[in-house]
Chain A
Amino acid sequence: SQKIEQNSEALNIQEGKTATLTCNYTNYSPAYLQWYRQDPGRGPVFLLLIRENEKEKRKERLKVTFDTTLKQSLFHITASQPADSATYLCALGRGLRNQGGKLIFGQGTELSVKP
């Protein structure tokens, strides 16, 4: 069955460093991959989407890479700040019209950025 794994449940880094989160998947052929941020007691908030034919996407201090051969995405936060502390979720979608809105999520990585 399809499976998505994020590299670790928790990641602790020092302020100013680059945080790198990993998302690996098996038994799935996604058309796109998304990253979300979730704060305690809140719903996930969309950050970035990268399509299967794209290698890299950037948005301000965020960078996502997508390697469909390795079946892996890396999510980077450069110059991290304590305000970046949250749980980050990756999600895959097939891009088929009859499966619109159907996302498969990883279990999330809790990032803690220390001052």
Chain B
Amino acid sequence: NAGVTQTPKFQVLKTGQSMTLQCAQDMNHEYMSWYRQDPGMGLRLIHYSVGAGITDQGEVPNGYNVSRSTTEDFPLRLLSAAPSQTSVYFCASSYSIGTGSTEAFFGQGTRLTVV
């Protein structure tokens, strides 16, 4: 049981390049989210999904796209990388008990540097 798997762990991009951060979970969780973590700012929500085919924006969605075609996968796409997107990215999944979600399981993170 791998939990939440993120790839790659490290990435360096040049300004203007595009790339996809992969996230997969094997726990059959309906909820998945992407966060970015910058020093002194905690985790900020980029996009989230409440099920396959359903996504919504979080606090800082600009410059990022997501899609959720399966329950297991939730990739995050950077359309045209900018230095302001240098950060550590975390993917998380959680399940529902009644209404809303419960504890979130996080991946190990992707450390992205845009030069």
| Chain A residues near B (Cβ < 8 Å) | 4, 9, 31-32, 34, 36, 41-46, 49, 89, 91, 93-108
Question: Quick check: B109 and A43 within 8 Å, CB to CB?
Answer: yes
Question: Quick check: A34 and B33 within 8 Å, CB to CB?
Answer: no
Per-residue CB contact flags for chain B residues 85-115 toward chain A (1 = under 8 Å, else 0) read 0000010111010011111111111000000
The docked-state distance in angstroms from the alpha carbon of A104 to that of B108 is: 19
| Chain B residues near A (Cβ < 8 Å) | 4, 30-33, 35, 40-45, 48-50, 56, 58-59, 90, 92-94, 96, 99-109
Question: Quick check: A32 and B108 within 8 Å, CB to CB?
Answer: no
Contacts of A46 in B (CB 8 A): 103-105
Q: List 10 A-B contacts (CB under 8 A).
A: A31-B99, A31-B100, A36-B104, A43-B108, A44-B106, A94-B100, A95-B100, A100-B30, A100-B100, A102-B56
Contacts of B43 in A (CB 8 A): 44, 89, 91, 103, 105
Question: Quick check: A101 and B107 within 8 Å, CB to CB?
Answer: no
4 tightest CB-CB pairs across the interface, nearest first?
Answer: A101-B31, A95-B100, A43-B106, A46-B103
15 additional contacts (CB under 8 A) given A34-B103, A97-B99: A43-B106, A91-B43, A93-B100, A97-B96, A98-B50, A98-B56, A100-B94, A100-B101, A101-B48, A101-B101, A102-B45, A102-B48, A103-B92, A107-B40, A108-B42
The docked-state distance in angstroms from the alpha carbon of A89 to that of B58 is: 18
Contacts of B58 in A (CB 8 A): 102
Contacts of B99 in A (CB 8 A): 31, 95-97
Question: Quick check: A89 and B42 within 8 Å, CB to CB?
Answer: yes
The docked-state distance in angstroms from the alpha carbon of A9 to that of B41 is: 10
Contacts of B31 in A (CB 8 A): 100-101
